[in-house]
């Protein structure tokens, strides 16, 4: 969980590796998944985090 946002374990892993400066292709190699799959998980994690920030701004 990041800032109250629940991420799947794979979303969290991908986000963690991305924060360390790795590309989706590199993350795919590290985690043994395809580059598009790593990108998919990164996109989902970012969407959840952006949505949570938007809701917090709108409500508070």
Q: Where are the domains of the chain?
A: 9-59
The tens place of each residue's pLDDT in the chain, 60 residues long, gives: 777 889 999 999 999 999 999 999 999 999 999 999 999 999 999 999 887 665 555 555
Distance CA 46, CA 9 (A): 14
Are the beta carbons of 7 and 45 closer than 8 angstroms?
yes
pTM here is 0.82
CA dihedral of 33, 38, 41, 46, whole degrees rounded to 10: 160
């Amino acid at each position: 969980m990041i800032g109250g946002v629940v991420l799947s374990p794979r979303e969290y892993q991908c986000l963690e590796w991305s924060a360390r400066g790795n590309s989706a292709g590199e993350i795919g190699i590290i985690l043994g998944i395809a580059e598009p799959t790593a990108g998919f998980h990164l996109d989902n994690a970012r969407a959840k985090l952006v949505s949570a920030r938007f809701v917090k701004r709108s409500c508070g």
